[in-house]
Structure 1
């Protein structure tokens, strides 16, 4: 063999593969380890968890709770730092297993450990953490959680500014969760003081510049946008102290004086205790800091409040903070709405789920439209209702932004997407909620009703010539209406102009309200729910207080909307929930309209068609009482208290130019009330009325007090005879109460 070939083979000898010969197996390597041994189990008696589990089975285990694997709470918390994400997730399940046995165990240690996982790198761990916190926060009292929440909120704030967008998104979910259970600890003193959580939410939604022009939210998916905006909306809502539900009676703030019902009108008479009304001979309207004393020839001296002055406090600071936030968010809100609306309200779109489907998936574009509109309405209400009479440049910019958003929404109003029929947790469909948001924005931009300025009394050559209270009130209201009309003219009209009043929007809202209240022949059309009806009432009130046309016309906004509302209410059954809410609203309208010295303009002119409609509703009250019977004693009590207040005026206590309810129908009302107490049927004979079947004694007493004050108009004696027979059927106690 040549020398060169030999050296070449030696060089590659370590890498040469031996050829196997037939019938001989592969030889084992010289350094191989024999692994042929077998074992049935591997016992680790020194492992602490297994030893503890064995002691638990024997009955000699520790007193602290453990998981099925024998792990204590401390063992599980140590595993939160395990490098394997599956172990960390499994440990969260073990923590829930232990807390399910003793939920209040070592709250501080649990919250500190859970807070450390908020910024975990694994998505499944964060998802399990949010689910566990959602269960845990609902189980533990807030008083127990409070000392340990600041650290959890700080850890959440850190997650909102994390470098990874997925962690920021889960931080927004956690903020929304905390706002549901411990809102005060998350919101803090905002808007009076800065909030780290709010700054984190701004970063999460991608606001970079001062006005949000560098927003990066466009890179997020629709679902991610929805999560971040919902967290922002919930934070603002909680910070401004506005609840999710429709605030009952909120629309009356500033319009209704407390203690003004039934005072100083005509002859007053005192009735029994539990009468439910102040029937004193003379009354005082005492409230506020500014007073005026007026003497009327027929009623003596009265004191009425002309205005209420209160300290501003830090309202200006709140307006400034919220205004800056809205100006920053406006480009983001507007662009998100414009991107989502064409898909959400496409004419070719079809409903992908029914309202009764339990597994229905949420329509993301529709939800984004709803969230952006509700957040805009929320911020606009907080700013414009607190705005001073002389707006600053910042407030003018806010009004311009709100008006711009309203104009862009107008293309799809009213919102009737086939996908918008599924009810939300508030009991409203998303389409109806959007229409309400649009209507509220239009109302906020409309001219604000100014405070009434009562004219001074004039003097003549023969001595002082006093104006009647009715004339003064009408003149003050007409002056206020003139200011509102002038404001509407100065700001311009039309969708194409930069109008602050946006009268075109108010007209569209009025048409929508009339369409909602109009009868429909479509059997498949969704019916108006009590929740939707209650949410619609503040819009109706805002339309009713608008200045009427000159002269009064059935086509102007307050007259047409009032006609649609009262006509719709009279079609409702006495036992329906809508009828109950509507009757209460009408009673409030009458109370506000007939105040002696109102502060804001609300007056239905004598020649308005609404007077007849209010009269028809009033004449129908005895029938409603009869049909209600004992089905809804709460509604019965409201109507009885209303009749008690109206009847306590006595004869001569009404001013025809002010009262909505004419005195000429009072004898008819008195006669119709007799059936509520007793009926003499032609064939059945003596039949006790619904009053005798009432369960609650206080309501029965109010019923007798109503009969006492209304018997004055009972010329035929029907009411007195019916009450006497009804009391005899009810028992001696009620006979004694009536006759004494």
Structure 2
């Protein structure tokens, strides 16, 4: 059989001569030995064989130094950048951010020496695409900033806010939301820097960039239109197509509320009762509209201010004294600088034009405070649609009578109300103090209250199948207080007007006269009823009526938050009659019932005392007048006569409250108030006598609470002034018990000379 062609070809190939092609080298024989090789280097950056380590250098459990950890922050691997705690071997995998925290917790002295490198290395991870890295960095920054004084952190604020505001506009929504969380940490520790320059149009200040980032995420556009005027169009931002989830929107709105509370703090007294529990000064800004001038209000406000809060202070500024002018060495860096200055004449001219444009008058001179009010009004107008739509989305679920509301939605409604309180509170506070009407803001606020009104008072469903949640109940209480406060803003802003204020209807059209006044009257009646229930400690069910539960005393924060509302009700022309007198009686009854040791007691004395003293002010122009209602006068007399008992119960534990009581009684006696009838004066004198000394059945004569007051307290001499004013000038046949007991109490003390001096002057005056 013939051989196959394949085998013939293989046999012939052994003797075939290979043909060389042009450009090809000589082929290597098949039996040649390949002697080429490749070498790879072995990196040992952390091994002792290649690195000499100083035993005194602080290290982590993995023997990593600060410099090594700072290098790992730039690693391409996300796990290396953030560090991790595996359950099987946490001591071997701890590095990067977690390693830095371990190192700095063990060696806190490294924070001050390596702070610049630390922040510059970590801040670049704010916009990291790995969520676990951002979460770990956020926890690290929260811990690190709490270890630093504010003065050490402020120099690094520029780079912190640069990367944070840049992350606010990142292409990925989750990075933008995490940037808001980083802003919350900065607002907690350096709020002045974060909010700096927020209302400067066309500037690149931190506050301006942060606020624009908020508006961009919320799809709210910008604060100012193309022309900067209040009526300019709202421009959409590059992130307007992003739809946030409820949880993400809550993060943004809550941060915005915190930003506004800090940004407006310089002009607007923060009344966030949920944040502070140790308020010592009762706010009185709402009384400014009841005086014909700012000077008169400030003089009245100082009547009951304690000594430690009325001392004048002066902010230090660089200045030269005339006698040492030759030795003055100035700082002329701007004159020596070769680059352009921060401000030019054109820049200053643009600022004037911008301010005048905002005010609507090209010739008007606008102050910084006026410009801020205009900016706040524009911001409120810009955010209105976003806030209203968010509230309308959440309200049906939050206030449903048949189901328990979600905590996220409840907090969403609460934070919306806080934003409204900050914005409209700033605008309408200006109306109350300066008399300037902001009709557009008033109309917008009234429209917002129309949306809230059907659900007021906000109450938790009492269905037996729904579990009681304390957090949600507290949120509803806060909502009620804020609604009352927002309602009071409108009344305070219109107190200077003699005619009825017009308000928009549900469809946005303006209605005037009786229908608008009637609508506002119904709103005030509902607010009045709720305020009286709070003052009486009555719980309210879902129908707005008391449910017979045990009385619950109002907290100090809630009481302070109610004061503008109470004042607007007792001083309102619209609320005149039953509502006004009922609220006044409720506030005085509450002041009488409040225990001397309660945290609310000081605020009740401050507020009710000022209501009593208002009538004696020559420049007082408010509607509240005493002496027209015998029932009200009787309650006030009862409250006045129980103040000496409060002094006794306080003893030396609260000198500030003691001083406020002494100041009030002294002012009342000096002015000869009609409330100090002979029976009231006699009762006061008899009740003040035991304050200096008492006769014990077995121990004999004992010192009263006056001896417990600190020797440096201003209340001691104020009480002595009160005694000499009440008892009058001394006489040879004087047998007054109060005078003799007071003299015995101060004899041999540092106050004896003062006592004899004022007694002598009182005798000469008469």
Task: Say whether residues 1:435 and 2:508 are aligned partners.
Answer: no
* Contact 2:571 2:624 (C-alpha < 8 Å) held by counterparts: yes
Q: Report the equivalent of 1:330.
A: 384
Match of 1:49? 46
Q: Relative contact order (alpha carbons < 8 A, sep ≥ 6): 1 or 2 greater?
A: 1
Assess if the C-alpha contact under 8 Å between 2:727 and 2:739 holds in 1: yes
Normalising by structure 2, report the TM-score.
Answer: 0.69
Which secondary structure state, in structure 1, belongs to the residue aligned with residue 500 of structure 2?
A: helix
Q: How much does 1:168 deviate? A: 0.7
Q: Number of matched residues?
A: 598
Secondary structure of 1:125's aligned partner: helix
Q: Residues 703-731 of structure 1, C-alpha deviation per residue, up to 9 Å, x if partnerless?
A: 33322222229986221233244446xx5
What is the CA-CA distance between 1:105 and the residue it aligns to? 2.9
Determine whether 1:65 maps to 2:89. Answer: no
CA deviations over 1:425-472 (Å, ceiling 9, x no partner): xxx92112211221122122226355xxxxxxxxxxxxxxxxxxxxxx
SS in 1 for 2:701: strand
- Report the alpha carbon displacement of residue 385 of structure 1 after superposing the two structures with TM: 2.9
1:302 aligned partner: none
Q: Does 1:201 align with 2:214?
A: yes
Deviation track 1:270-306 (CA, whole Å, cap 9, x = no partner) reads xxxx99999xxxxxxxxxxxxxxxxxxxxxxxxxxxx
Hey, what does 1:99 align to over in structure 2? 104
Separation in 1 of the partners of 2:211 and 2:391? 22
Contact 1:205/1:217 (8 A) holds in 2:
no
1:534 equivalent to 2:527? Answer no
1:78-105 Cα distance to aligned partner (Å, 9 max, x none): 2223222111111111222333321123
Question: Which residue of the other structure, out of 675, 692, 701, is the alignment partner of 1:677?
Answer: 692
Residue of structure 2 equivalent to 1:108: 116
User: Who is 1:120 aligned against?
Assistant: 128
Please tell me whether the aligned partners of residues 81 and 97 of structure 2 are also in contact (alpha carbons under 8 angstroms). yes
Q: TM-score under structure 1 normalisation?
A: 0.72
- How many Å apart are 1:396 and its aligned residue? 4.3
In structure 2, distance between residues paired with 1:262 and 1:317? 28
Q: Is the counterpart of residue 141 in structure 1 residue 167 in structure 2? A: no
Map 1:366-377 → 2, pairs under 5 A: 366-377=410-421
For the structure 1 residues 159 and 347, does the alpha-carbon distance in structure 2 shift closer, same or farther, using more than 3 Å as the test? same
Q: For 2:507 and 2:558, how far apart are their aligned partners in 1?
A: 28
How far the C-alpha of 1:599 sits from its partner, in A, is 5.8
Change in Cα spacing, 1:3 to 1:324, as seen in structure 2 (3 Å) is farther
Instruction: Return the alpha-carbon distance in structure 2 between the equivalents of residues 421 and 642 of structure 1.
Output: 43
- The CA RMSD over aligned residues, in Å, is 4.0
Within-5 A mapping of 1:288-327: 312-327=366-381
Q: Report the alpha carbon displacement of residue 532 of structure 1 after superposing the two structures with TM.
A: 1.7
Select the residue among 258, 264, 284 that pairs with 1:240: 264
Unmatched 5+ residue regions in structure 1? 8-43, 264-273, 279-309, 352-361, 451-479
1:654 aligns with 2:672: yes
Aligned CA distance change for structure 1 residues 312 and 566 (closer, same or farther; 3 Å): farther
Alignment partner, residue 719 of structure 1: 738
Higher mean C-alpha displacement, 627-636 vs 207-216: 207-216
**Structure 1 CA distance for aligned equivalents of residues 750 and 419 of structure 2:** 57
User: 139-148 or 232-241: which moved more?
Assistant: 139-148
Q: How does 1:198-597 map to 2 (within 5 A)?
A: 198-208=211-221, 211=234, 219-241=243-265, 242=268, 243=270, 245=272, 248-252=281-285, 254=288, 257-259=297-299, 312-350=366-404, 363-386=407-430, 396-417=439-460, 422=470, 429-446=474-491, 448=493, 483-484=497-498, 486-488=499-501, 491=503, 498=510, 502-520=520-538, 522=548, 526-547=552-573, 553=577, 555-557=578-580, 559-597=581-619
Contact 2:485–2:561 (CA<8 Å) still a contact in 1? no
> Would you say 1:169 and 2:169 are equivalent positions?
no
1:337-396 CA distance string (max 9 Å, x none): 122222223223459xxxxxxxxxx810110000011111211122233358675xxx54
Task: Identify the residue that residue 187 of structure 1 maps to in structure 2.
Answer: 195
**Structure 1 counterpart SS, 2:685:** helix
Aligned to 1:282: none
User: 2: distance between equivalents of 1:545 and 1:494?
Assistant: 27
Q: Is the 8 A contact 1:415 1:432 kept in 2?
A: yes
Structure-2 separation of matches of 1:2 and 1:99: 89
Can you give the 5+ residue segments of structure 2 that lack an aligned partner in the other structure?
8-40, 84-95, 223-232, 274-278, 312-363, 462-466, 539-546, 758-766
- For 1:533 and 1:148, how far apart are their aligned partners in 2? 40
C-alpha distance in structure 2 between counterparts of 1:495 and 1:312, whole Å = 34
Structure 1 pair 685–335 and aligned structure 2 pair: CA distance change class (3 A): same
Given the superposition, is the C-alpha separation of residues 3 and 313 from structure 1 closer, same or farther in structure 2, using an over 3 Å criterion? farther
Q: Is the 8 A contact 1:494 1:504 kept in 2?
A: no
Pairwise CA distance, 1:561: 0.7
* C-alpha spacing 1:438/1:494, structure 2 compared with 1 (3 Å): same
